[in-house]
Amino acid sequence: MMPNVAIVGATGAVGQEFLKILKERNFPVEELRLLATKRSAGKKIDWQGRTLEVQETTAGSFKGVDIALFAGGSASTEYAQAAVADGAVVIDNSSAFRMDPEVPLVVPEVNPEDVAWHKGIIANPNCSTIIMVVALKPILDTAGIKRVVVSTYQAVSGAGREGIEELEAQVAAWTKGEALKAQVFPYQIAFNLIPRIDVFAEGDYTKEEWKMVKETRKIFHRPDMAITATTVRVPVLRSHSESVNVETERHVSVEAARAALAKAAGVVVIDDPAQDKYPMPWYSADQDQVFVGRLRQDFSCENGLNMWVVGDQIRKGAATNAVQIAELLL
């Protein structure tokens, strides 16, 4: 019997991506219930030959629902428990439950077995974390990991549709010689970099940086794993890039690391310096794989490795990962 599926936040960027990915992956759906805010209620959306009307999300929206995909935001804390109470398994894209010890935090290529111990809610990790851990898993399995240093270059769509619109508006204003307005981001993002994503927190690291640290430890079941992160917003429309430096527990050659990555689920290696080939956000957009290149030894330490990692944060970093979790439930 096919499951009844609800999408909470169906009209937003991640919600719309859910619709695309359910279709692309031929996910079996009996009833698809589209839920959003009161403002979006009544909107009609065509999907797979069906015309569906968006309903306002309420505590009573989940009767008969088997799987509820939450796109993120405040709806998760407001309605996730109500969905579970009505018998649905919630796959949540917000940060609300990620660090709850009772809630598995899952990336299907990395720790699919953790789905088994859910108690009604399964958390989707932060987009930057997902992209990084998919690339780290083959290295961990091959040589162990002692320490990770990551710097991210995150697209404006990580801030939602409004982030895209602000970059486009600023570029258009710049070409006309008009004043550039910043509302979504704290400063102009066009032709600029902003080394702050989310609010500042403990030790003057941002919340986004701490997410990468704490979530990676939980996913790998390594609470003592040494990780440090710097997250930066860049004027790219879609796909996050990451410079990842790994110090391994055992020596691994660049060739062995490349071979392990090439065999790994969900990873595509593009690494040919002689031909000027490496991953870039423009070419990874609208794809589900994590792309890895610029593999090279870090000569500053005994077992160091550098790599450049790129992934579409709306797909693999959010919607696709959630649908893959739903596939594990089936």
CATH code for the domain in which residue 147 is found: 3.30.360.10
Give phi and psi for 25, each to the nearest 5: -90, 5
What residues act catalytically? 127, 240
Closest listed residue to residue 322, CA positions, set 1, 5, 4:
5
Q: What is the pLDDT of residue 178?
A: 97
- What are the beta bridge partners of residue 309? 242, 292
Task: Give the Cα separation of 185 and 169 in Å (integer).
Answer: 13
CATH code for the domain in which residue 18 is found: 3.40.50.720
The pLDDT profile of the chain, 330 residues, written as one tens digit per residue, is 899 999 999 998 899 999 999 999 999 999 999 999 999 999 999 999 999 999 999 999 999 999 999 999 899 999 999 999 999 999 999 999 999 999 999 999 999 999 999 999 999 999 999 999 999 999 999 999 999 999 999 999 999 889 999 999 999 999 999 999 999 999 999 999 999 999 999 999 999 999 999 999 999 999 999 999 999 999 999 999 999 999 999 999 999 999 999 999 999 999 999 999 999 999 999 999 999 999 999 999 999 999 999 999 999 999 999 999 999 999
Same-domain check for residues 211 and 267: yes
Same-domain check for residues 95 and 180: no
Q: Where are the beta strands (DSSP E) in the chain?
A: 5-8, 32-36, 44-47, 50-53, 55-56, 67-70, 89-92, 121-123, 145-154, 226-233, 240-248, 267-269, 290-298, 304-311
The range of the structural domain enclosing residue 13 comes to 5-125+318-329
Q: What is the pLDDT of residue 15?
A: 94
Same-domain check for residues 255 and 139: yes
Q: How many domains does the chain have?
A: 2
**Tokens encoding 226:** 């040494």
